[in-house]
Amino acid sequence: MDPVKNSILIVGGGIGGLAAALACAQQGAKPHVIERAKVFSEVGAGIQMGPNVTRTLFSWGLEKALREVVFTPDRLHVRDAQSGSTLGALRLGQRSVQTYGAPYFAVHRADLHQVLLQHVVNTGAVKLSLNCQIDLIRDDADQITVNGRGLPEGFFETVQAEAMVGADGLWSSTRQYVVPQTPPRVTNLLAYRALVPMQSLPESLRTQDVTVWVGAKLHAVLYPVRRGEFLNLVVIVNGRPPVQLAEWDHAANKRDLDLAMGFAHSDLKNILSAVADWRLWSLCDRPPVRGANEMAKGRIALLGDAAHPMRPFMAQGAGMAIEDAAELAASWARSELTVPERWQLYAKARWARNAKVQQRSIQNGKIFHLQGPMRWGRDLAMRMLGESLMDVPWLYAGP
């Protein structure tokens, strides 16, 4: 049998790349995932997954494995970071299932990644190559040819496939084969992230909910992960990084964070001060996608952060990568079409929704950080409209 037939080369084995491998393998494809890292390990911290995302993951058979590692929060509260008052709340738990037919989960990235990896391996159809770097990609009339090498020394030189997926994240090197090369946009927003054992916190600071604290030029998001055994904390402040931070896992200077939080309410300060070890991440994004041509060209499709990196203020970056993967697999199944036609179908189905979430993420960030009279207006609207303002039916109902 022709080894190229039905083969898809997926560059990047993050959440998006593994989701694509799993979904495409379930449609009969033979994916080959090429990952730069030496071992599959997802750094970082928590991820929230709305019902639009959990529904997709369940459709791939992941429900049981996910339920063993996730946390299901009851509510999302928005509190004023200065006064501590509650501005609004959105019921998540049962309401998410009743309204959208799927739950709202909070999960550690490594746990989600591990569940995906396990299911990818179980298909028996996916080849995984770690410690590999793609150097050159050629999109010919009938196949993709990739020159690559193992790291640090070469062990594969040329791989051929029927199609390719660039799932190599924010700093994607495959992106240049679809759209002209431009660097990601530095947002001048810094994310301080931490994960603390719930047991290490005083009883009064433990929580079963997602809490978003909004303040002038900053906000904080807190929620349990790992069956509620850990609390995930993210504090976003306006500011430039001391150096350009392109990767996860930079130690943060806690004093900088303390300075930024000077005015914060004692409830918030008490939780933050219980954390010794903060990591710092400089947020980057790209302007919202402008058309299907920015997500696929010929035999190459882009997916996840490689295509549409977004600010995390809708908590949907990984979610959109997972939705992309589902659509990609559905398009792949259209075997009556050529590969470029299938990828165009995928791109046409996905670009506008991704652009909308990117745009809304930018807008949410601005709303969270409002100051002065605009802030009073926001607080009043939240108090009056509450749940109806915070719910996002067009998003949670799915594509």
Ligand X SMILES: Cc1cc2nc3c(=O)[nH]c(=O)nc-3n(C[C@H](O)[C@H](O)[C@H](O)COP(=O)(O)OP(=O)(O)OC[C@H]3O[C@@H](n4cnc5c(N)ncnc54)[C@H](O)[C@@H]3O)c2cc1C
Is residue 312 at the binding interface for ligand X, with CB under 6 A as the rule? Answer: yes
Q: Do the Cβ atoms of 308 and 289 come closer than 8 Å?
A: yes
* CA nearest neighbour of 45 among 210, 218, 225, 201: 225
Give me the least distance between CB of 205 and ligand X, in Å please: 21
What binding mask, one character per residue, do residues 53-92 give for ligand X by CB under 6 A, x or -? ----------------------------------------
User: Which region among 203-211, 254-262, 309-317, 342-350 touches ligand X (by CB under 6 A)?
Assistant: 309-317
User: Which region among 63-71, 194-202, 311-319, 355-363 touches ligand X (by CB under 6 A)?
Assistant: 311-319
Query: Using the rule CB under 6 A, which residue among 143, 173, 211, 344 binds ligand X?
Result: 173
Q: Do the Cβ atoms of 330 and 350 come closer than 8 Å?
A: no
Query: Using the rule CB under 6 A, which residue among 167, 257, 275, 339 binds ligand X?
Result: 167
Residue 288: is the preceding peptide bond cis (ω within 30°)?
no
Is residue 319 at the binding interface for ligand X, with CB under 6 A as the rule? Answer: yes
Residues 185-224 that bind ligand X (CB under 6 A): 191, 193
Amino acid at 350: R
* CA nearest neighbour of 160 among 145, 140, 177, 148: 145
* CA nearest neighbour of 369 among 391, 361, 305, 388: 361
Query: Using the rule CB under 6 A, which residue among 17, 88, 103, 365 binds ligand X?
Result: 17
Give the integer Cα–Cα distance in Å for 164 and 21. Answer: 11
Question: Which residue lies nearer to ligand X by CB, 7 or 379?
Answer: 7
- Angle, helices 317-332/51-59, rounded to nearest 10 degrees: 40
User: Which region among 209-217, 286-294, 299-307, 372-380 touches ligand X (by CB under 6 A)?
Assistant: 299-307
Is residue 12 at the binding interface for ligand X, with CB under 6 A as the rule? Answer: yes
Give me the least distance between CB of 203 and ligand X, in Å please: 26
Give the integer Cα–Cα distance in Å for 334 and 101. Answer: 27
Residue 375 class from Cβ within 10 Å (0-12 exposed, 13-18 middle, 19+ buried)?
Answer: middle
Question: Which residue lies nearer to ligand X by CB, 60 or 379?
Answer: 60
Question: Which residue lies nearer to ligand X by CB, 234 or 329?
Answer: 234
Is residue 347 at the binding interface for ligand X, with CB under 6 A as the rule? Answer: no
DSSP 3-state assignment of 331? helix
Is residue 13 at the binding interface for ligand X, with CB under 6 A as the rule? Answer: yes
Question: Which residue lies nearer to ligand X by CB, 329 or 379?
Answer: 329
Is residue 344 at the binding interface for ligand X, with CB under 6 A as the rule? Answer: no
Neighbours of 202 (CB within 10 A): 9
Strand partners, 29: none
